[in-house]
């Protein structure tokens, strides 16, 4: 009698929980009897994950926060590795969070002959290419979110499939949702919104919010009726954002507690925006999905910034630029991230329809490149995982 395959999954953050849940949906679509064990969040649990412990224990960011937890994290690593060896799953899928998941894979490697698969390729195309070779010591196969990543993984000795980025499959805000948001915030239907996104970490907000606030104040004075809006990424950031943007007539929108509702609110804010100023990262793809022209700005510690510039392998950090093979999105990094540079770049998007249209065209190319309009990334990832399982 055929035994249903057991897939062991490990996710350590909310984004990984979403990736894992979509993958599980795809695996169940291909084989409804598939069983799951490992570590994940509520979305993965709702799909039948037999969890060893709560994912929340792994959601720690920052060196200072991690240090007191090292002993318990090492213990959890060993516990998960031992569980993998005992269960002998058909495949192990580690989902992002490389600081923990790849250490588990390394610890379990000698005790399991199953394919070890990592979901989300490290950005070795941007910096630290040696990470791929190190990962190849324990990982057999990689599920890549970006189409240009497989050759880097293959060169390091792993097989790799491009499965698409989850942003490509996310729903779009409706006209009704946009109208409801404007009514909720008291924003006129014809008022232009400038969305400001100074990051999701306290350190990012501390550096970027004052610069973004000064930029917003200048632009609001130049463009009467322009509404600056900041959707806070976390509840703990609301107070620092209110302090940084005091006196600028900027709306600070607190996040919703429910994750799905928060994501829907964010998509609606983006869709309602005429332009955006954002920290670098995946947010550029989210803005492109909402058809919003943008400027990217980022600051960090001067020494860290210098080291990053020395190690960088590409001349842009913006994914829309990389995916569209253009430099349509202006970016101002490190010492260049200041109002005197940001204001003219945003002015061009607000005053020049051709500049905004060029960005939207580049964004549309980026969306096609990450899989928009094709098979759902979770199902593509599931097909790739199933292909790795030995009969």
Instruction: Output the tens digit of pLDDT for each of the chain's 391 residues.
Output: 567 899 999 998 878 898 999 999 999 999 999 999 999 988 999 999 999 998 876 754 433 344 556 677 888 899 999 999 999 999 999 999 898 999 999 999 999 999 999 999 988 766 677 889 999 999 999 999 999 999 999 999 999 999 999 999 999 999 999 999 999 999 999 999 999 999 888 888 999 999 999 999 999 999 999 999 999 988 999 999 999 999 999 999 999 988 889 999 999 999 999 999 999 878 999 999 999 999 999 886 555 554 555 455 466 778 899 899 899 999 998 889 999 999 999 999 999 999 999 999 999 999 999 999 999 999 999 999 999 997 6
Please state whether 118 falls in left (phi above 0), alpha (psi between -120 and 50) or beta: beta
- Give 34's DSSP letter: -
Q: Count other Cβ atoms within 10 Å, centred on residue 86.
A: 10
The three-class DSSP label of residue 386 is helix
Four-residue CA torsion sign, 138, 142, 148, 154: positive
Q: What is the pTM of this model?
A: 0.84
- Residue 295 has a pLDDT of 97
- Residue 46 has a pLDDT of 93
Measured CA to CA, the distance from residue 307 to residue 325 in angstroms comes to 25
Closest CA to 118 of 7, 5, 6, 10: 10
- Residue 68 has a pLDDT of 55
- Residue 374 has a pLDDT of 92
- Residue 64 has a pLDDT of 38
Give the bridge partners for 302, in sequence order. Answer: none
Element (H, E) at 108: helix 98-108
Measured CA to CA, the distance from residue 38 to residue 68 in angstroms comes to 24
Give the bridge partners for 2, in sequence order. Answer: none
Phi and psi angles of residue 27, each rounded to the nearest 5 degrees, phi first: -65, -40
Measured CA to CA, the distance from residue 9 to residue 368 in angstroms comes to 28
Measured CA to CA, the distance from residue 197 to residue 283 in angstroms comes to 9
């Amino acid at each position: 009698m055929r035994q249903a395959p057991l897939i062991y999954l490990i996710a350590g953050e909310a984004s990984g929980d979403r990736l894992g849940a979509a993958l599980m949906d795809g695996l169940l679509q291909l084989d409804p009897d598939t069983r799951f064990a490992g570590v994940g969040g509520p979305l993965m649990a709702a799909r039948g994950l037999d969890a060893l412990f709560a994912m929340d224990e792994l959601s720690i960011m920052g060196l200072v926060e991690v240090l007191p937890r090292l002993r318990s994290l090492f213990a959890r690593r060993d516990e998960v590795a031992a569980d993998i060896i005992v269960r002998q799953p058909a495949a192990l899928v580690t989902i992002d969070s490389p600081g923990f998941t790849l250490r588990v894979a390394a610890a379990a490697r000698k005790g399991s002959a199953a394919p070890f698969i990592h979901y989300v390729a490290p950005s070795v195309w941007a910096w630290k290419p040696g990470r791929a070779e190190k990962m190849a010591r324990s990982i057999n196969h990689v599920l890549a979110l970006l189409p240009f990543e497989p050759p880097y993984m293959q060169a390091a000795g792993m097989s790799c499939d491009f499965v698409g980025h989850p942003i490509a499959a996310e729903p779009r805000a409706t006209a009704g949702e946009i109208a409801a948001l404007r009514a909720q915030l008291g924003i006129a239907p014809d008022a232009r919104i400038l969305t400001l996104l100074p990051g999701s970490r306290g350190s990012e907000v501390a550096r970027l919010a004052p610069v973004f606030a000064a930029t917003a104040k200048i632009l609001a004075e130049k463009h009467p009726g322009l509404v600056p809006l900041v959707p806070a990424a976390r509840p703990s950031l609301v107070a620092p954002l209110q302090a940084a943007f005091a006196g600028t007539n900027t709306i600070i929108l607190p996040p919703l507690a429910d994750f799905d509702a928060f994501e829907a609110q964010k998509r609606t804010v983006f869709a309602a925006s005429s332009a955006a100023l954002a920290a670098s990262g995946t947010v550029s793809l989210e803005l492109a999905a909402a058809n919003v022209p943008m400027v990217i700005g980022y600051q960090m510690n001067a020494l860290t910034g210098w080291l990053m510039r020395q190690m960088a392998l590409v001349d842009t950090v913006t994914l829309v630029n990389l995916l569209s093979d253009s430099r349509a999105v202006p970016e101002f990094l490190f010492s260049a991230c200041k109002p005197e540079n940001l204001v003219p770049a945003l002015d061009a998007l607000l005053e020049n329809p051709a500049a905004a249209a060029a960005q939207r065209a580049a964004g549309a190319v980026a969306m096609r490149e990450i899989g928009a309009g094709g098979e759902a990334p979770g199902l593509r990832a599931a097909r790739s995982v199933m292909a790795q399982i030995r009969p």
